[in-house]
Amino acid sequence: MLEVRFHGRGGQGAVTAAEVLAVAAFGDGKYSQAFGKFGPERRGAPVQSFTRVDESPIRIRQEVYEPDIVVVLDPGLMKVVNVRQGIKEGGILIINTKDKVPGAWCVDATRIALDTIGKPIVNTAMLGAFSKASGGAVSLESIIKAIKERFPGELGEKNAEAIRKASESCSLIGV
Amino acid sequence: MVGGIIKDVGNISSNKTGSWRTFRPVVDKNKCIGCGTCKMFCPDVAIEIVDGKAIIDYDHCKGCLICKSVCPVGAISSEEEAK
Amino acid sequence: MVKKIEEGSHAVADVVRLLNPGVLAMYPITPSTHIPERLSEFEANGELGGKIIRVESEFSAISAVVGASARGIRAYTATSSQGLALMHEVLFAASGMRLPIVITVANRALSAPLNIFNDWQDSISERDSGWLQFYGEDSQEVVDLMIQAYKIAEDKRVLLPTMVCMDGFFLTHTYDVIDVPEDLKGFVPDYKPEHAFLDPKKPMTQGAWAMQEPYFKLRKELEEAQRSIFPVIKEVHDDFAKVFGRSYGDGLIEVYGEGDNAVVTMGSFSTNLKVLADKLGFQVIRIRCYRPFPDKELAAALKGKESVAVFEKDVSYGTGHGAVYNDVRTVYNGKMVNFIVGLGGLDVPVSALEKMYKQVPEMKDAETRWQI
C-alpha cells in the first residue's frame, strides 16, 4: 500500500490534491482513499491531507503516520512543520520551492501555477511532480483526466498544463 | 482548566502567523496619507498608523491584501513572498 | 452496481435520491453538510423527485419531516451534533406517532467546548427516544443501511423512525471506493401508509392528547414494537444480501475472527480493531443495530468468553462508563472492561488500540480507561 501525506496551507487545495490523486489512482484501476485533517479552516494555516493507494480494498481508517511520499505545497512550511516526520526509509519528499533541497524532488510550482493558471494555487502542479517523482505510481494521464472532471472547461485545461509542466521540470536534487 | 475557560486572553498575539503569506503588502510611504482605512479593514489587526503612515506588522499579517484593495490612494502594492 | 470513488456524504445523497422521499427538510450542519448540498444540486438540476423544504433550524427540519410523514409521505433529513440535539423534543413525537422517518446522522461531538469532529455523543444521547439506530462501519455499509432503513421503518410490523449513523469526517468527508446502485431493483416499494395519512374522506386525528392510562399503554406499545422487530431487521438484511450481494453478519451484529477474548464496538474504527484482531487473535463483535438492542445475539456471541473489552466514542456521564458498555453489561457477567476513545475526533489508530488492548489482562472487572 502506498501512503501519501500532503502538507499545505488553508486555501492551497491540499485536500483537493489528495482527493484528485485518489480519483486518478482509481482511474488507473486501483483502490484508493483520501481525506483531510480538518481544523478551523483558516486561509494560510498549516493543513494536512492524506491519500492511500493499493491493489486491494483499503482496510484502515486512521491518519497516515508513516508516509511513503510527502508532498509539500508551500516552501515556508519547512520552517514551521517537520514535514519529514515518520517518513519511511527510502521515502520520497517532493517540495514546491525555488531552491534546491538536497535529497528531495524540487519544483517551482508557484511559478508554474502563476504562469499557467494565473494564481498561486499549486496543488494540481504538485500532482504532476508527484507522478514523475513516484515513477508513475499514479499515471499522469489519470491525474489529468481526474483534474478535467473536477474542473471542467478552461480551468481544467490550464491545470492540466500546470501538471504537465511540473512533471517535466521537477528533478531530484543530489545529496 | 475548568470548563475550558481561557483566562490569559489576547494570547493570539504570541501565534506569529506571518509565515502564512504568499504575497506581502508593501506600503509606499510617499503615497500614504495616513487615513487609517487599511487599519480599519485589516482582519488581523496588523496595521498601525505611526506618525501619519501605515506600518504593517509582518509577524501577524497573513497576506490577505484587503489593505491593498481598500487603500483610497493606491499606496499599497504586493510582492511575492521570498521563501 | 457501479463501483465509483466518491465522498461518503455524496454516496449517501446518491442513494437518498434513488429512495425518492417526497419531502426533504434539511438544515446543513458540519459534518452532515455535504448531504443536503448534493441533494440541493440534484434538485437544481431537476434530478430529484421530492421537494426540499428550506427551513430555519433543525427543529423546523424535523418538524416539517414529521408533518410530511403524518401526511403519508416518505420524508428525509440529515443532521449532526447540536442539530440532532435541537431535534430532541420532536424525536419523541415522531416515535410516539409511529412515523417511519429516516434520518442520516453524521456523528459529531457536542459542545462545550465547541468541536466539529467525530464522536457518538449526539446519537447515543438519543438512544432512549424510541428511534431505531444503526451504525455503519464504512460508507458502503451506510449506503446499504440507507436502502434497508426505509424498508424496515415502513414495514407494517415496525412503523418506527430510524437513524442511520455514520462517523463524521472519517466517513462523510473521506473518498472511498463504493458500490452505489444505479437503481434499487424494486427492493424498496413505494410508501403506502395505512395508519397515518391525510385524506379528507377518511379524517383522523394524529398526535392527540392522552390521559394517564392510554398514554402509559401507548408508550408500552412503543417498547413492545421495538422489541418485536428483530426478525424484520434480519429479514430485510437477508433479502438485501440476495438482491445486492453484500451482507453484514446477521444484520444485527457482525462477528469477526475467532478468539477466547472479545472486543465489542460500533462504527468506523471497527476496521482498525479488525486489523489489530488479525495480529493479536481476539474476536471483534461489531454492533450494527444498537436500537433495538440485540441482547440475545450478543449474549450468545459473548457466552464463554474469558474477557470482553468495549471500545466506544461516548460517555454515559456519571456511570463511569460509556453507554454501549452499560448495555452490553446486561448480557454478560464475566470480566468486562471499557475503553473510551476518540472523543472530539481524536484519531484512533491501530497503534493506540494495541496499547490499550494489551492492558486488558491487568485491568479489574468493570474498569474504564481513556485513550488519553
- In tens, the pLDDT along A131-166 reads 999 999 999 999 999 999 999 999 999 999 999 999
Contact of A76 with chain B, judged by CB distance below 8 Å, is answered with: yes
C253-370 matches C2-239 in CATH topology: yes
Task: Assess contact for C305 and C316: CB atoms under 8 A.
Answer: no
DSSP string, A77-139: HHHHS-TTTTPPTT-EEEEE-SS--TTSEEE-HHHHHHHHTSS---HHHHHHHHHHHTTSSS-
Give the strand order in the sheet containing C102-107: C51-54, C23-26, C75-79, C102-107, C162-167, C132-135, C289-291
pLDDT per position as a tens digit, C136-151:
999 999 999 999 999 9
Which of C30, C138, C175 is the mutation pick for testing A, counting most A CBs within 10 A?
Answer: C175
pLDDT at C304 over 60: yes
3-state secondary structure of C204: coil
Task: Assess contact for C81 and C108: CB atoms under 8 A.
Answer: yes
Q: What is the CATH number of the domain that holds A75?
A: 3.40.920.10
Across the A/C interface, how many CB contacts are shorter than 8 Å? Answer: 57
Nearest of A117, A119, A122, A114 to residue A96 by alpha carbon: A122
Nearest to B17 among A44, A110, A120 (CB): A44
Nearest to C272 among A35, A61, A65 (CB): A61
pLDDT per position as a tens digit, B13-49:
888 888 888 789 999 999 999 999 999 999 999 999 9
Length of chain C: 372
C-chain residues near B3 (CB < 8 A): 112
pLDDT at C369 over 70: yes
pLDDT at C323 over 90: yes
Identity at C46, one-letter amino acid code: G
Helix (H) or strand (E) holding C4: strand C2-7
Mean of all residue pLDDT scores within chain A? 94
Q: What topology is assigned to C2-239 in CATH?
A: Rossmann fold (3.40.50)
Instruction: List phi, psi (to 5°) of C37.
Output: -60, -50
B-chain residues near A76 (CB < 8 A): 19-21, 81, 83
pLDDT at C79 over 90: yes
Instruction: Calculate mean pLDDT across residues C342-351.
Output: 98
Contacts 24+ apart (CB under 8 A), C237-241: C237/C148, C239/C187, C240/C144, C240/C147, C240/C148, C240/C187
Partners of chain C (3+ Cβ pairs below 8 A): A, B
Q: Return the pLDDT at A158.
A: 97
Mean of all residue pLDDT scores within chain C? 97
Q: Which domains does chain B have, with CATH numbers?
A: 25-83 (3.30.70.20)
- The domain ranges of chain C are 2-239, 253-370
CB-count burial class (<10 Å; 0-12, 13-18, 19+) for C40: middle
pLDDT at C1 over 60: no
Return the percentage of chain C with pLDDT > 70, whole number: 99
Q: Do B62 and A74 touch (CB under 8 A)?
A: no
Which residue of chain A comes nearest to B60, CA vs CA? Answer: A44
Return the percentage of chain C with pLDDT > 90, whole number: 99
Q: Do C269 and A22 touch (CB under 8 A)?
A: no
* C-alpha to C-alpha distance for C61 and C104, rounded to whole angstroms: 13
* C-alpha to C-alpha distance for C299 and C303, rounded to whole angstroms: 6
Q: Return the pLDDT at B11.
A: 81
Q: Do A44 and B23 touch (CB under 8 A)?
A: no
Residues 6 or more apart in contact with residue C14 via CB below 8 angstroms: C6, C38, C143, C180
Residue linked to cell 442539530: C83
Which residue range(s) make up the domain with A11? 2-172
Which residue of chain C comes nearest to B5, CA vs CA? Answer: C113
pLDDT at C352 over 60: yes
* C-alpha to C-alpha distance for C73 and C191, rounded to whole angstroms: 7
Band of residue A41 on the pLDDT scale cut at 50, 70, 90: low
Residues 6 or more apart in contact with residue A71 via CB below 8 angstroms: A4, A5, A6, A7, A17, A94, A126, A129, A130
Number of domains in chain A: 1
CATH annotation of C253-370: 3.40.50.920
Q: Which three cell numbers stand for residue C45?
A: 438540476
Residues 6 or more apart in contact with residue A22 via CB below 8 angstroms: A32, A33, A34, A51, A52, A53, C5, C175
* C-alpha to C-alpha distance for C25 and C68, rounded to whole angstroms: 10
Q: Do A34 and C169 touch (CB under 8 A)?
A: no
Band of residue A79 on the pLDDT scale cut at 50, 70, 90: confident
Q: Return the pLDDT at B83.
A: 56
Across the A/B interface, how many CB contacts are shorter than 8 Å? Answer: 28
So what's the ipTM on this one?
A: 0.95
Helix, strand, coil fractions of chain A, as percent rounded to 5:
35, 20, 40
Helix (H) and strand (E) counts in chain C: 12, 15
Instruction: List phi, psi (to 5°) of C278.
Output: -60, -35
Residue linked to cell 525555488: A98
Strand pairing partners for C15?
none
* C-alpha to C-alpha distance for B13 and C304, rounded to whole angstroms: 59
* C-alpha to C-alpha distance for C269 and C310, rounded to whole angstroms: 13
* C-alpha to C-alpha distance for C92 and A173, rounded to whole angstroms: 65
Q: Where are the alpha helices (DSSP H) in chain C?
A: 8-19, 34-44, 58-71, 81-96, 121-124, 139-153, 212-228, 230-244, 270-280, 295-302, 323-329, 350-357
Task: Assess contact for A27 and A145: CB atoms under 8 A.
Answer: yes
Plot region of C94 (φ>0 → left; ψ -120 to 50 → alpha; else → beta)? alpha
Task: Assess contact for A75 and A14: CB atoms under 8 A.
Answer: no
| Exposure string over C184-203, b if 16+ CB within 10 A, otherwise e | beebbeebebeebbeeeeee
Task: Assess contact for A103 and A175: CB atoms under 8 A.
Answer: yes
B-chain residues near C113 (CB < 8 A): 4
* C-alpha to C-alpha distance for C210 and C217, rounded to whole angstroms: 10
